[in-house]
């Protein structure tokens, strides 16, 4: 079988480069999933110039025209989901069912943006006897979009859809650990749009740096880690470029004493361990009432014991590897340090293929019993399958512990009482609080601004509020 090879995409042309990087399967290192082109700074420049050249015509199209093209893109995503998913599964280590759902969800994200744009982009006009005022929303220009590896398709679409529907053009930088499926998908999506509206560059830090620093970039939208975000913001400062950041979290789950554990435990486990814990709003720490602690711990252990850890494409597997060597080493070392500091760490689940265990970045899900509230495993963002469970006595105490962090992305409350859940939610310093399921409902995906407070981000994504990140205001004031 000839190796899959993904080029850059500039002005709707596949652009080959001097160097190609092998992308390997994190569940079976020996397997090369494909080759990805590595951009040089000149190619980043070409991509931005192509997007800039496409901007005048694209921004002059009607909302109706842009909406129609995006609807076609949504349909295309649905029709090629299986083909793209196979590649994304290979490069990310995520389960096929998750990736398929991600791509289908991405099609909905496109439609949600089309729907939101219809009212949002209308000008607001007011008039009195002295003057007429029209506040119009205009596109910014060329958007640089940085996409992470953990859910590359949906996190890319969350930028592409609002950017394009409001009349911007885009240059997307793929994640080096998962560029292939994204590249394949965008080759086909871009063909639905005029050349230069969608451009894709691949590569590492130097490519990101060249993109963020390019003078023709109007705004940077980045999903990823805080350290890279700081670097991007410093670079953006030179050109006074706006930034929208969706960064990490250390999301607390607060179990109230009236929570129905039998009903909630499967979804709570998913909220922490879905994608092997590798998603930004995964539950990163769990707080349980002292009186319920042992029962909770045991019940969660029982649920985790059902997990089968193995290669993501193996039909028997319910829990895939972590995505890359850095993350694997980080989580392993974190668990070792937790153990060394006296924490009791229990691993759960079954190895699907024990003899091939060392051929991938496999980790079994683990729980940490009663760590100190200030310990590293509680205060850091692990981004992997190990979760600390802490006990608390009073609501005030647990709220203080939940808020004792520089992060503030998501959070969750688990309770049988709606009013009580909402009241506790309002005390949590975070951008999002989920009650009784650590995920957005379908209604939530359409209407919730997705993002964090404190150092979990700047700005937001999704809904009309996220779309506001992709427009400038042009106010026209006519004096009578």
Q: What is the dihedral of CA 295, 300, 301, 303, to 10 degrees?
A: 130
Q: Does 57 bind another protein (CB under 8 A)?
A: no
Nearer to another protein, 302 or 441 (CB): 441
Of 280, 275, 307, the closest CA to residue 26 belongs to 275
Segment near another protein (CB under 8 A); pick from 96-104, 227-235, 311-319, 332-340: 227-235
Q: Does 128 bind another protein (CB under 8 A)?
A: yes
Q: What is the CA radius of gyration of the chain?
A: 23
Minimum distance between the CB of residue 323 and another protein, rounded to whole angstroms?
24
Confirm if 107 and 189 have CB atoms less than 8 A apart. Answer: no
Nearer to another protein, 135 or 325 (CB): 135
Nearer to another protein, 266 or 473 (CB): 473
Binders of another protein among 457-476, rule CB under 8 A? Answer: 457-460, 463, 465, 468, 472-476
Nearer to another protein, 188 or 464 (CB): 464
The Cα–Cα gap between 233 and 457 comes to 11
The Cα–Cα gap between 221 and 242 comes to 9
Nearer to another protein, 48 or 180 (CB): 48
The Cα–Cα gap between 467 and 362 comes to 38
User: Which of 79, 97, 131, 346 is in the footprint of another protein by CB under 8 A?
Assistant: 131
User: Which of 130, 315, 355, 358 is in the footprint of another protein by CB under 8 A?
Assistant: 130
The Cα–Cα gap between 158 and 425 comes to 25
DSSP helix/strand/coil, 414: strand
Q: And the tokens for 428?
A: 């949590």
38, 49, 280, 381: which is the annotated catalytic residue?
280
Of 98, 109, 142, 54, the closest CA to residue 445 belongs to 109
246 catalytic? Reply is yes
303 catalytic? Reply is no
β-pair type (386-392, 169-173):
unpaired
Q: Does 230 bind another protein (CB under 8 A)?
A: yes
The Cα–Cα gap between 377 and 335 comes to 8
Q: Which residues contact 108 (CB under 8 A, 6 or more apart)?
A: 74, 442, 445
Minimum distance between the CB of residue 122 and another protein, rounded to whole angstroms?
14
Q: Does 135 bind another protein (CB under 8 A)?
A: yes
User: Which of 133, 228, 313, 380 is in the footprint of another protein by CB under 8 A?
Assistant: 133
Nearer to another protein, 16 or 476 (CB): 476
The Cα–Cα gap between 451 and 50 comes to 30
38, 49, 91, 159: which is the annotated catalytic residue?
159
User: How far from the centroid of its chain's Cα atoms is residue 105's Cα?
Assistant: 13
User: Which of 16, 32, 237, 333 is in the footprint of another protein by CB under 8 A?
Assistant: 237
What is the helix (H) or strand (E) element at residue 333, kind and residue range? helix 325-340
Nearer to another protein, 14 or 138 (CB): 138
Q: Does 477 bind another protein (CB under 8 A)?
A: yes
343 catalytic? Reply is no
Binders of another protein among 351-410, rule CB under 8 A? Answer: 406
Kindly list the distances between the CA atom of residue 399 and the CA atoms of 51, 271, 403, in Å, as whole numbers in the listed order: 46, 20, 6
Binders of another protein among 424-453, rule CB under 8 A? Answer: 425-426, 430-437, 440-444, 446-451, 453
The Cα–Cα gap between 180 and 31 comes to 14
Cα four-point dihedral sign 231, 403, 383, 149:
negative
Minimum distance between the CB of residue 290 and another protein, rounded to whole angstroms?
26
102, 303, 461, 469: which is the annotated catalytic residue?
461
Minimum distance between the CB of residue 416 and another protein, rounded to whole angstroms?
12
β-pair type (242-246, 198-201):
unpaired
43, 246, 303, 381: which is the annotated catalytic residue?
246
Q: Does 418 bind another protein (CB under 8 A)?
A: yes
Minimum distance between the CB of residue 432 and another protein, rounded to whole angstroms?
5
User: Which of 82, 127, 290, 344 is in the footprint of another protein by CB under 8 A?
Assistant: 127
Minimum distance between the CB of residue 56 and another protein, rounded to whole angstroms?
11
């Amino acid at each position: 079988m000839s190796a899959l090879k993904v080029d850059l995409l500039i002005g709707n042309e596949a652009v080959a480069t001097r160097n190609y990087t092998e992308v390997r399967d994190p569940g079976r290192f020996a397997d090369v999933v494909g080759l990805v082109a590595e951009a040089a700074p000149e190619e980043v420049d070409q991509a931005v110039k192509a997007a800039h050249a496409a901007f005048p015509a694209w921004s002059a199209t009607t909302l109706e025209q842009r909406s129609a093209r995006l609807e076609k893109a949504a349909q295309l995503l649905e029709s090629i989901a299986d083909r793209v998913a196979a590649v994304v599964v290979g490069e990310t280590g995520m389960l096929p069912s998750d990736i398929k759902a991600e791509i289908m969800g991405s099609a909905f994200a496109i439609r949600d943006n089309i729907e939101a744009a219809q009212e949002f982009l209308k000008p607001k006009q007011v008039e009195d006897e002295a003057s007429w005022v029209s506040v119009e929303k205009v596109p910014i220009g060329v958007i640089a979009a940085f996409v992470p590896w953990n859910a590359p398709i949906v996190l890319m679409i969350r930028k592409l859809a609002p950017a394009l529907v409001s009349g911007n053009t885009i240059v997307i930088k793929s994640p080096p650990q998962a560029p292939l499926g994204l590249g394949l998908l965008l080759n086909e999506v871009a063909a639905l749009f005029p050349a230069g509206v969608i451009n894709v560059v691949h590569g590492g830090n130097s490519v990101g740096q060249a993109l963020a620093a390019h003078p023709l970039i109007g705004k940077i939208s980045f999903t990823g880690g805080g350290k890279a975000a700081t670097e991007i913001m410093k670079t953006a400062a030179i050109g006074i470029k706006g930034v929208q950041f969706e960064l990490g979290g250390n999301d607390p789950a607060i179990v109230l004493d009236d929570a129905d554990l039998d009903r909630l435990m499967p979804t709570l486990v998913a909220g922490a361990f879905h994608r092997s814990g590798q998603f930004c709003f995964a539950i990163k720490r769990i707080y349980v009432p002292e009186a319920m602690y042992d029962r909770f711990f045991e019940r969660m252990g029982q649920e985790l014991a059902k997990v089968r850890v193995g290669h993501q494409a193996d039909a028997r597997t319910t829990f895939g590897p972590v995505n890359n060597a850095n993350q694997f080493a980080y989580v392993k070392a974190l668990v070792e340090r937790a153990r060394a500091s006296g924490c009791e760490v229990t691993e759960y689940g079954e190895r699907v293929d024990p003899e091939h265990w060392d051929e991938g970045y496999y980790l079994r899900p683990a729980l940490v019993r009663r760590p100190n509230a200030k310990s590293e495993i509680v205060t850091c963002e692990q981004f992997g399958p190990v979760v600390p469970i802490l006990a608390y006595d009073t609501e005030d105490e647990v709220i203080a512990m939940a808020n004792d962090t520089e992060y503030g992305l998501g959070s969750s409350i688990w309770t049988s009482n709606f009013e009580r859940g909402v009241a506790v939610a309002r005390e949590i310093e975070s951008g999002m609080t989920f009650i009784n399921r650590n995920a957005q409902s379908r209604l939530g995906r359409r209407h919730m601004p997705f993002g964090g407070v404190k150092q979990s981000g700047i700005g937001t994504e999704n809904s009309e509020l996220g779309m506001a990140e992709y427009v400038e205001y042009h106010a026209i004031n006519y004096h009578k």
